[in-house]
């Protein structure tokens, strides 16, 4: 299958949630998806749904047909895959090789680059469902783009074609960039789960109805204030609650009831250390920002000191 003039033949290696969606978006932008690999039944269903008519092929066949190879495999499998294909002479001169790993830059693609391929690392800063819903969400997404300087515009152009916003991230900064995203998004999920468990224990069955509006407003405020907080020590202008009020007694009471819950409900075992760690971080930031004074911070940290929580 040949792409129209000015368009690329795209091959997808690993049609998981990310790969199938990005390939579908590239297809909508006018590129031709010439093949996709998928081992699991779920992957094959995504190909049928998001990439109708695209042949399911073995990995070497996908690479052989494609002008742009989209590697959307688990991080730990990426290096071995690239090296294995290089060992068989699969990579082609001038072929674009794109991976979507957040923590890795283009160094992992060195075996492909040595064969003349063009390495690009494009990471979408969003979560994927693996459905058509993700296609609309791409319009508001940011992609981290890492590539050698001469080909950086190619990576940026591909992101723009997806309807997203490219942000250049240096090779050495990729692990820190990804750690920031994982800390913010993944740990937010844990935090919400902990809060929901405590609400259910308090007799509120529809915890989502209580948390939804509250957390949505808090997240919106935090994101809006992030730019302003870049130049403000502490970065807590959107923070509310007992820590920024210096209410050590309230914090101590929180720890007592959370410890009681943890003692009776194994699902709540991580509530106390989670609360304590985040409240300590909030105390330090509130002190640096001048929202509490040293005496208030000392009382808060004393209430948050490690003790028997049983």
Model confidence over 54-78: pLDDT tens digits?
A: 999 999 999 999 999 999 999 999 9
Confidence of residue 5 (pLDDT cuts 50, 70, 90): very low
Mean per-residue pLDDT, 18-32: 96
Cα–chain center distance at 83: 26
Please tell me what DSSP assigns to residue 171: G
Cα(136)–Cα(162) distance, rounded to whole angstroms? 10
pLDDT of residue 223: 87
Confidence of residue 39 (pLDDT cuts 50, 70, 90): confident
Cα(155)–Cα(288) distance, rounded to whole angstroms? 39
Confidence of residue 309 (pLDDT cuts 50, 70, 90): very low
pLDDT of residue 305: 95
Q: φ, ψ for residue 30 (rounded to 5)?
A: 110, -5
pLDDT of residue 233: 60
pLDDT of residue 306: 84
CB 121 within 8 A of CB 104: yes
Strand partners, 56: 36
Query: Closest by alpha carbon to 29, among 7, 52, 47?
Result: 7
Instruction: Return the CATH architecture of domain 9-169.
Output: 3-Layer(aba) Sandwich (3.40)
Cα(156)–Cα(146) distance, rounded to whole angstroms? 9
Domain ranges of the chain: 9-169, 175-303
Q: What is the pLDDT of residues 114-148, one digit of tens each?
A: 999 999 999 999 999 999 999 999 998 999 999 99
Q: What is the pLDDT of residues 175-234, one digit of tens each?
A: 999 999 999 999 999 999 999 999 999 999 999 999 999 999 999 988 887 766 665 666
pTM to 2 decimal places: 0.87
Alpha helices in the chain (DSSP H): 17-28, 41-50, 59-65, 75-87, 110-114, 133-137, 152-161, 174-201, 207-229, 242-245, 248-264, 271-288, 294-303
Cα(270)–Cα(295) distance, rounded to whole angstroms? 29
């Amino acid at each position: 299958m040949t792409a129209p003039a000015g368009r690329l033949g795209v091959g997808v290696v690993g049609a998981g949630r990310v790969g199938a969606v990005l390939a579908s978006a590239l297809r909508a932008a006018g590129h031709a998806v010439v093949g996709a690999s998928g081992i699991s039944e779920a992957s094959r269903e995504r190909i049928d749904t998001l990439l109708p008519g695209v042949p399911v092929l073995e990995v070497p066949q996908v690479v052989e047909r494609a002008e742009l190879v989209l590697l959307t495999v688990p991080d730990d499998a990426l290096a071995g895959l690239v090296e294995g294909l290089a060992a068989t002479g699969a990579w082609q001169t001038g072929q674009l090789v794109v991976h979507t790993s957040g923590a890795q830059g283009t160094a992992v693609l060195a075996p492909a680059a040595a064969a003349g391929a063009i390495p690009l690392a494009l990471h979408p800063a969003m979560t994927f469902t693996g459905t058509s819903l993700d296609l609309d969400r791409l319009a508001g997404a940011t992609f981290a783009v890492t590539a050698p300087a001469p080909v950086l515009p190619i990576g940026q152009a591909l992101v723009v074609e997806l309807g997203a916003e490219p942000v250049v991230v240096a090779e050495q900064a990729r692990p820190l960039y990804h750690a920031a995203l994982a800390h913010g998004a993944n740990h937010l999920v844990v935090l919400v789960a902990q809060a929901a468990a405590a609400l259910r224990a308090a007799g509120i069955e529809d915890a989502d109805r209580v948390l939804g509006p509250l957390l949505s407003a808090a997240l919106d405020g935090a994101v809006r204030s992030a730019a302003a907080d870049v130049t403000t020590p502490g970065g807590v202008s959107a923070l509310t609650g007992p820590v920024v009020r210096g209410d050590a007694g309230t914090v101590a009471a929180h720890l007592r009831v959370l410890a009681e819950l943890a003692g009776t409900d194994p699902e709540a075992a991580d509530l106390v250390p989670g609360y304590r760690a985040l409240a300590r971080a909030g105390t330090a930031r509130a002190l640096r920002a001048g929202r509490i004074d040293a005496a208030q911070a000392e009382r808060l940290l004393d209430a948050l000191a490690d003790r028997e929580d049983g």
